[in-house]
């Protein structure tokens, strides 16, 4: 098999052990004689996977008992609409932190449902850094605050969050959930598409404080109602069983690798290695995000000109590095180094970058 280092931003690399296990179990799920793809979501086998996966997530993130864990469909983009649909009532205001493309999409969706206030923004800095979270002036009647913990395209990530406020805090953690320890009790709702750190696309994890579910207006469609999903333990309708099964395997893999704290240590070492390569390159490479806002998950960088960048991509692909092209909206280069990317793969990338520099500086 060809050795490929997969730096894609999402869907992204999965741990090889997990892929192997999927292959082994695809025809016979744990001695049932059936494939996970052909069993009922009401079967005891799936009930076990559903319950166990929720519990694994609770254990790994230390989720307090007053929270619900949901497995929904429609990607994080559906959450952009579901959040205001459930919590932005007429007469109230939703306060958003505008930190980049993904926050911008969440804001645009919320505006379709009611009044939105941008309480902090780094748009004038072209989202190279994250807006500060202290001294926010929240309009009266704020229903919730929304932030994006990691901007996948700009390559920025909050290191700290705000002090607890009187209003619910909602976070899109699609591109950094389970990459580092967080205190779930600082948040009232967290959502994340699975296809970066949790598994394949097709399932979105929602962690929500039970108390918040009481505020949901009853006039929204059931399929969009968090309370309906919570009451039915994510079995209101046919869930994405295959995706949840893979999340289950990925969570067990994280558990076996030292839990969130274990992967966080590696993630810090991996990011540090690549940023040091960029910073030590005498400006041959430069980082796109301000140092203080740099992401441990998506390292965005550039070379001095477009021709060189094209050549970098061509050569990197020839050498087995895939997914290094930046997002179409940001351009340039990006290495996404989620949990499943190893330190050795980052080392291989760093060595490739140094060698490329030697030949083209």
- Is 196 a catalytic site residue? yes
172 annotated active-site: yes
Q: Does 303 bind ligand PMP (CB under 6 A)?
A: no
Window of 26-34, 70-78, 116-124, 236-244 that interacts with ligand PMP by CB under 6 A: 70-78
Q: By C-beta, is 300 or 303 nearer to ligand PMP?
A: 300
Nearer to ligand PMP, 10 or 285 (CB): 10
Burial class (CB in 10 A: 0-12, 13-18, 19+), 100: buried
Q: Of these, 174, 197, 234, 277, which contacts ligand PMP (CB under 6 A)?
A: 174
Question: Interface residues for ligand PMP in 154-173 (CB under 6 A)?
Answer: 172
Contact predicate 226/74, CB 8 Å: no
Task: Please select the residue that binds ligand PMP; options are 86, 152, 336, 345, rule is CB under 6 A.
Answer: 152
Examine residue 8 and tell whether it contacts ligand PMP (CB under 6 A). Answer: no
- DSSP three-state, residue 284: coil
Rounded to the nearest 5°, which phi and psi values hold at 120? Answer: -160, 140
User: Is-catalytic flag, 231?
Assistant: no
Q: Does 102 bind ligand PMP (CB under 6 A)?
A: yes
**Lookup result for tokens 């999402």:** 10
Sequence-ordered alpha helix ranges (H) in the chain? 16-25, 44-61, 75-87, 101-111, 210-213, 226-231, 241-256, 259-279, 306-318, 343-360
Alpha-carbon distance of 53 to 249, in angstroms, equals 9
Among 102, 176, 188, 253, which one carries the catalytic annotation? 102
In the bound state with ligand PMP, the residue whose beta carbon lies nearer, of 175 and 277, is 175
Please identify which residue in the block is written with the tokens 């389970």: 178
d(CA 324, CA 15): 19
Q: Which of residues 187-206 bind ligand PMP (CB under 6 A)?
A: 193
Minimum gap (Å) between residue 357 Cβ and ligand PMP: 29
| CA nearest to 87, candidates 169, 156, 173, 26 | 169
Q: Compute how many other C-beta atoms are within 10 angstroms of the C-beta atom of residue 79.
A: 28
Stretch that binds ligand PMP, among 39-47, 69-77, 218-226, 332-340 (CB under 6 A): 69-77
Total residues contacting ligand PMP by CB under 6 A comes to: 11
| Minimum distance of ligand PMP from residue 332's CB (angstroms) | 17
Q: Which residues are catalytic?
A: 102, 172, 196
Binding region for ligand PMP (CB under 6 A) = 10, 75-77, 102, 148, 152, 172, 174-175, 193
């Amino acid at each position: 098999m060809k050795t490929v280092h997969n730096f894609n931003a999402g869907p992204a690399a999965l741990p090889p052990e997990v892929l192997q296990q999927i292959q082994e179990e695809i025809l016979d799920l744990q001695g049932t004689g059936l494939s996970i793809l052909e069993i009922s979501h009401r079967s005891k086998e799936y009930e076990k996977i559903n319950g166990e996966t929720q519990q694994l997530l609770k254990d790994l993130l230390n989720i307090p008992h007053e929270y619900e864990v949901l497995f929904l469909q429609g990607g994080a983009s559906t959450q952009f609409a579901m959040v205001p649909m459930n919590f932005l009532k007429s007469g109230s205001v939703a306060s958003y932190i505008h930190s980049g493309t993904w926050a911008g999409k969440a804001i645009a969706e919320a505006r379709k449902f009611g009044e939105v206030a941008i309480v902090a923004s780094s748009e004038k800095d072209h989202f190279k850094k994250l807006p500060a979270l202290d001294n926010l002036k929240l309009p009266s009647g704020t229903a919730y605050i929304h932030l994006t913990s990691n901007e996948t395209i700009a390559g920025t990530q909050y290191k700290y969050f705000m002090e607890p406020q009187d209003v619910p805090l909602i976070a899109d953690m699609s591109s950094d959930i389970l990459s580092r320890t967080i205190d779930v009790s600082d948040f009232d709702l967290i959502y994340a598409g699975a296809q970066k750190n949790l598994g394949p696309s097709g399932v979105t994890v929602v962690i929500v404080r039970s108390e918040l579910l009481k505020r949901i207006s009853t006039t929204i469609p059931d399929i969009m109602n968090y309370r309906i999903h919570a009451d039915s333990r994510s079995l209101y309708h046919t869930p994405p069983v295959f995706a949840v099964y893979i999340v289950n395997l990925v969570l067990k893999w994280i558990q076996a690798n030292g839990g969130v704290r274990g992967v966080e240590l590696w993630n810090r070492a991996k990011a540090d290695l690549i940023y040091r390569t960029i910073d030590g390159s005498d400006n041959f490479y430069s980082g796109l995000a301000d140092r203080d806002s740099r992401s441990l998950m998506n390292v965005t960088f550039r070379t001095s000109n477009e021709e060189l960048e094209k050549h970098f991509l061509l050569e990197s692909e020839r050498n087995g590095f895939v997914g290094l092209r930046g997002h179409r909206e940001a351009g340039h280069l990006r290495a996404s180094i989620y949990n499943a990317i190893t330190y050795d793969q980052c080392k291989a990338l760093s060595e490739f970058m140094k060698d490329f520099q030697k030949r083209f500086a």
